[in-house]
Amino acid sequence: MKQIITLILLTAMSLSLIAQKELTISPLPADAMVCFMQNGKELNCFKGEVKKELEKNIPYTFRVRKEGYLTVDTTIFRKKDAAPVLPVILNTRIVKVSVSPLDAHIYVDQIDKGSVPQDIIIPKGKSVLVEVKKPGFGVKSVTYYNIEGKPEPEVSHLFKMDERVVYIKTQPADADIYIDGKKQKEQGTAEVTIPNNECTKVKVSKVGFATEEISYCNKDNEAAPPTNDVIKLKDRLAEVTVDIDDATIFVDGKEVGKKTAKVKIQENKCVAVVIKKQGYVTQKYEWCNKQDGALPEAKYTITMDKDQAYDESEQSDQANKAFTLQINGDAKQAWQTLVSIISSKFDEIQTIDATTNYLRTAWVGEVYNKNTPFPSMVRTRVVVTNGGFNPLKINVKVQSEMSKVTDDFSKNNCVSPTANQDECFEAWNRILRKYSELYGEILDRIK
């Protein structure tokens, strides 16, 4: 029995000596590299679990490493009570972060680390926020987790700044902003993101102003968009509504609509707005977009007054057209009768020559709509000319003209013209009623 106990003790001592002399290094993750070190340099490296014979009083340094983890260096000595297996757990994660462009800055939990590539250390049970910023580019951000149940962090990451950003402000500051057709909640400011190799359309609008549209592009071989931009609504836009359905609206002589129209007034410019409708007083306005004067309103409602001249006249196919009168009887008597008829209607005969059968009265002007901002004048005269002989023929023409509204304000002398200002009148297809029976009387009295 004593011999058996002695054998057991010898066996135990033998096992103890083995445990002291050999150490198994077991890394976790199991595929980590175990490297034995000498003078700070890796000497031999092995993947996974490694066994090492230990000598007395000699330090052994080894390194356990794996990409994506914080490396662990350990120094041990042979000990009597040393466990035969030494587990080494890599539980701190590392992500190698770099940026493009190279001058973009890396922020780790909101701390600026500069533009140098960074090893982002994530302790076990923690998370780290990494952001990359550069003026004119969209912010890139990633949260790395070293928490059970969360996605594992990647080994390395290149933050490529390929989205451009333009920070815009508007003038006026309360203008609406649309980015690719979508209205932004905030007025006056916006952050415009332009994806790589694409363009983004920005529209700025406000009632009373002409809309401004800008396209920002982020494409190769094209100029980079600005970092900051101010979009100014400089041109005004007035919406005009007339109370007469088919009234015609002209801007600087060009028809722009009937009943309603939008009138654009460029910065530091003026426009002439003319509204016409037969039978109504023509109206004219000058709206200017200049800082030293009254600015145009956003909306105008125009009420048109009936033209009094239409109530005092009638449409005539003979207006401004000569009709030929054939004289079959005494030519001298016929001429005297004609002069008498015309003199009864017109106070002044400006030119008369019986030998050539020529007569022209002075213009007679009648002013209408005196109590409106837009008075008008109708002028009338009679011109008689010789139409031939054998038999004698005489041409009689009643000229009827209405004062016209110019398309601009360069001819201010036509605002209230006199009857003799030819440049201020245009032919009118109506004749005032007090002259409308002139033709009939001439035909009745001259045979």
Shared-domain flag, residues 207 and 150:
no
Q: Which of 46, 63, 89 lies at the terminal end of a domain, its last residue?
A: 89
Verify that 348 and 434 share a domain, yes or no: yes
Q: Answer yes or no: do 294 and 316 share one domain.
A: no
CATH number, domain at 77? 2.60.40.10
Q: Look at residue 12 and tell me if it is in a domain.
A: no
Question: Residue 11 domain-assigned?
Answer: no
The reported pLDDT for the residue numbered 17 is 38
Interval 218-231: pLDDT, tens: 998 899 999 999 99
Report the pLDDT value the prediction gives residue 412, as an integer from 0 to 100. Answer: 60
Note whether residue 282 is domain-resident. Answer: yes
Among residues 66, 89, 112, the one where a domain terminates is: 89
What CATH number is given to the structural domain containing 274?
2.60.40.3070
What type of residue sits at position 260? T
Has residue 35 been placed in a domain?
Answer: yes
Based on the fold, state whether residues 83 and 108 are members of the same structural domain: no
Q: Are residues 375 and 406 in the same domain?
A: yes
pLDDT in the model for residue 415: 73
Pair (329, 393) in one structural domain? yes
Domain co-membership, 281 together with 362: no
Domain that holds residue 138: 93-160
User: How many structural domains compose the chain?
Assistant: 5
Each residue of 349-373: pLDDT tens digit? 999 999 999 999 999 999 999 888 7
Q: In this structure, is residue 121 part of a structural domain?
A: yes
Instruction: Identify residue 344 by its one-letter amino acid code.
Output: S
pLDDT in tens, 122-144: 999 999 999 999 999 999 999 99
Would you say residue 276 lies in a domain?
A: yes
Phi, psi of 72 (to 5 degrees): -115, 120
> Which of 390, 375, 371, 405 minimizes the C-alpha distance to 274?
405
Residues 287 and 377 in one domain: no
The pLDDT score that the predictor gives to residue 45 is 94
Query: Is residue 3 in a domain?
Result: no
Tokens coding 110: 């909101």
Average pLDDT along the chain, 447 residues, taken 10 residues at a time: 28 37 91 93 93 88 95 87 86 96 95 95 97 93 96 94 95 97 96 95 97 95 93 97 94 94 95 92 91 92 93 92 91 94 95 95 94 87 93 94 73 76 92 92 87
Does residue 441 belong to any structural domain of this protein? yes
Residue 412: which CATH number? 3.30.530
Tell me: do 240 and 359 sit in the same domain.
no
